[in-house]
Amino acid sequence: MRIQLMTDSGADLPTRLTETLNIIVVPLYLHFKDKQYISGVTLNLKEFYQKIEEYDELPRSSAPSPNDFYEAYKKVDPSTPIVNISLTKGLSSTYDNALLAKEMLLEEEPNRKIAVINTRTASCGMALFIHEANSKIMEGYTFEELENHLNDRVKDTTTLIALKTLENVIRGGRLDKVRGTIAKTLNIKLLMRASEEGTIEVAEKVRGDKKSIRRLIEQIGEYTKNVEEKIIVMSHSNAENRAKAVLDEIMEKYPFKDSYLTDMGPLISTYAGQGGIVISFYK
């Protein structure tokens, strides 16, 4: 059975993963002082950082409207089931709006099959779900089997984050300026993770960038075993060489079956900041 995969721009998808897949991406919006931009469409990462420097502030983000999702669903052949891999409900109304759009369309076309998955993750964590979904489609999973499988996978997903700079968490108000200044003076780095509810929480505070990366790598072994049977996905914010070096270290210590590396889009970079790294894998 052919199943249409869909996601939103909360996902950072590796080219190697998507180049053979027909994935529909519904974008989120970023609002700077001058105007509204479509994340990853009318605003790339270079322009994103230029505008942050120009305005000395972070953009506001907003979810796709229910109508945005409704229009995306409508473009898919009615006989083709849709599985929408959604940005965590813990960070955005994207998931709720995707559900509303599903209900809107089902009122008109009740025979449609649409599943919306609250991944409780973001960025490369969503890429992990895209990979899983495609693998199971290739194995012949039905729509119902795929929906159940992906919902089961949510609780097995680990997403870890290492911030190189605190600039964006200070600018965004998630860390007050006084504490942020002290943390920067002491060279404190934040290690964060996706919580069970799909929010982002501080896991540890580590002094020094090298120590934070070392600790990030150590954490992998605390969350998962049998890595030879699993994949790992990493995204980075404007730091390709740094990310490649970290991923090489990870693969040397933990021989995952495969690894994917991808650029972080403007939306997730709003939270992660320059040099930020996100990794995701199954427990």
Yes or no: say if 87 and 119 are a contact pair by the CB < 8 Å rule: yes
What are phi and psi for residue 71, nearest 5 degrees? -65, -35
Q: Is the pTM of this model over 0.85?
A: yes
Domain stops at, among 109, 131, 155? 155
Q: What is the pLDDT of residue 176?
A: 56
Digitized pLDDT (tens) for each residue of the chain, 283 residues in all:
699 999 999 999 999 988 889 999 999 999 998 789 998 888 888 888 888 888 888 899 999 999 999 999 999 999 999 999 999 999 999 999 999 999 999 999 999 999 999 999 999 999 999 999 999 999 999 999 999 999 999 999 999 999 987 666 656 555 555 465 556 666 788 899 999 999 988 899 999 999 999 999 999 999 999 999 999 999 999 999 999 999 999 999 999 999 999 999 998 998 888 899 999 999 9
**In terms of domains, do 133 and 59 share one?**
yes
**In terms of domains, do 149 and 13 share one?**
yes
The whole-angstrom separation of Cα 70 and Cα 54 is 35
**In terms of domains, do 132 and 196 share one?**
no
Q: What is the pLDDT of residue 65?
A: 98
C-alpha distance from residue 215 to each of 1, 142, 218, 222, 228 (Å): 43, 40, 5, 11, 21
Q: What is the pLDDT of residue 178?
A: 47
What range defines the domain where residue 210 resides? 157-282
The whole-angstrom separation of Cα 91 and Cα 18 is 24
- CATH number, position 197: 3.30.1180.10
- CATH number, position 132: 3.40.50.10170
**In terms of domains, do 115 and 14 share one?**
yes
The whole-angstrom separation of Cα 20 and Cα 3 is 14
* Count of domains for the chain: 2
Q: What is the pLDDT of residue 217?
A: 98
| CA trace torsion 121, 126, 127, 133 (10° rounding) | 130
**In terms of domains, do 178 and 205 share one?**
yes
**In terms of domains, do 26 and 146 share one?**
yes
Burial class (CB in 10 A: 0-12, 13-18, 19+), 107: exposed
**In terms of domains, do 106 and 137 share one?**
yes
**In terms of domains, do 189 and 245 share one?**
yes
Domain stops at, among 155, 173, 198? 155
**In terms of domains, do 132 and 210 share one?**
no
**In terms of domains, do 150 and 226 share one?**
no
Q: DSSP 3-state assignment of 92?
A: coil
The whole-angstrom separation of Cα 187 and Cα 166 is 10
Domain stops at, among 134, 155, 176? 155
Q: What is the pLDDT of residue 187?
A: 76
**In terms of domains, do 180 and 125 share one?**
no
**In terms of domains, do 36 and 66 share one?**
yes
